Amino acid sequence: MLQKQPGASSDSGGPAQADSALSARGLWRPALALWGGFAGVSYVVVSLGQWVLGEAMLWSGSAYWALRWSLWLACTPFIVALARRFPLLAARGAGGWARTLGAHLLGSLGLTAVTLLLVFAATAPLFRWEAGLHFGWRHALNWVFTSYDTFLALYLLVVVGYGLLAQSRRTRRLEQAHTAALLHNAALQSQLSEARLLALRMQLNPHFLFNTHQAIVGLILQGDGPGAIEMLAALSELLRAVLTEEPRPLVPLHEEVAVVEKYLAIQQIRFRHKLRVHVGLPPEAREALLPSFLLQPLVENAVVHGLEGLRGPACLTLEARVSDGQLHISLHDNGLGAGATPRRAPAGSGGVGLRNTRARLQQQYGAGAALRLVQAPGQGTLVEVTLPYEPAPTAAAATTSRPEPALP
């Protein structure tokens, strides 16, 4: 299971639970544009009406409109607070709708009354001074009730607009959290794959070292001290090449073959130099990437299970080619092969080396890679590996390439 990520909200409520992401600074701009737009339109409409009647717009009238809309701008935080406390778009059920609508009706009526009464108190003296107009408190109450429908519409416009904005912000946050969770999951999967591949490789290294150690012990028991020393020196060269390199999941084929050739140098000592090796790598295949330490267990399997006990010359052929976007690697030995009938080995056969190689290919490429083992009586064993062709970057290949001399 994934751990909860920072920013990955687990709430599933309405916009009210996502409003905290909407800062006051971010709300003032749309509020100023909204109320400023209404003020401008209202002023133009009233001015045109006065012009049609042949009357001039009073300065007190201009002050009235400016103060009226400025107070509504100042009331915007209170409208937002009510919209946050009673989100209109999140109301559910008859009871929820009743509470929400009741709160907004009372809130809008209260704000309308407060703003218009303040406007009246501030502008009534101006009208009286400039035009001799006298307005009483009954006129003020009349303004409140006759203007309420307009202000209610504007109030609900703000509430709904804020709800849509909060919902949009919440949806965006959830999408970001979902994307972050997917990226986190992908990173975990990548780490898991790398850990599995590393574990498989660590299983192969002791397996190879154990076999080589047994071979050295065998030479010592046979009284072949020089051969044992030569094999130890060759093993040191191989370990230096393998252990001093920075671990990489993928390496160019020519680097992998260089490691294999060092291993085969050890085996040539065991076979008294009767082991002949042929390596065929066309230029396009040399730079193909494959999992590191992939071929060595296959070569070791061919030597131990195919060429051991062979009385005549032992031959091992390693070839590669690129075709139809696939890298094809074949390893053929002239060992004894299987019984009287040719057969294709089942997926689980072939010992630790083949099992782990199949597991690594499956882990790295899935169904895009395959390992096939064919044995025939008197014709040796053929191992074929197919995997997607991916050339190494030219710069990286030039930096890391260290050609090794071919074995005789």
pLDDT in tens, 104-150: 888 887 787 777 777 777 666 666 665 556 666 677 677 667 777 77
Residues 165 and 256 in one domain: no
Domain stop point among 137, 167, 186 = 186
The pLDDT, as a whole number, for residue 278 is 94
Q: Give the H or E element holding residue 374.
A: strand 370-376
Domain span holding position 346: 224-400
47 Cβ neighbours under 8 A, 6+ residues apart: 57
Which CATH number is 340's domain given?
A: 3.30.565.10
Are the beta carbons of 43 and 65 closer than 8 angstroms?
yes
Specify whether 171 is located in the same domain as 232. Answer: no
Domain end position, chosen among 165, 186, 207 = 186
Tell me what pLDDT residue 7 has.
Answer: 41
Q: For residues 276 and 198, give the distance between their C-alpha atoms in angstroms, rounded to a whole number.
A: 32
Instruction: State whether 238 and 288 are in the same domain.
Output: yes
Q: In whole angstroms, give the CA distance from residue 239 to residue 231.
A: 12
pLDDT in tens, 189-222: 665 566 555 545 555 456 667 777 888 888 888 8
**244 versus 291: which is more confidently predicted?**
291
One domain, residues 173 and 250: no
For the four alpha carbons of 340, 341, 344 and 348, in that order, the dihedral sign comes to negative
> Do 59 and 176 belong together in one domain?
yes
Reported as a single tens digit per residue, the pLDDT across 381-406 is: 999 999 999 998 863 444 444 444 44
Residue range 319-374, pLDDT digits in tens: 999 999 999 999 999 887 654 334 444 334 456 668 878 888 888 888 999 999 98
Considering 88-97, 156-165, 243-252, the range whose residues carry the highest mean pLDDT is 156-165
Mean pLDDT lowest for which of 9-18, 176-185, 219-228, 381-390? 9-18
What is the count of structural domains for the chain?
A: 2
Please state the pTM of the whole predicted model. 0.48
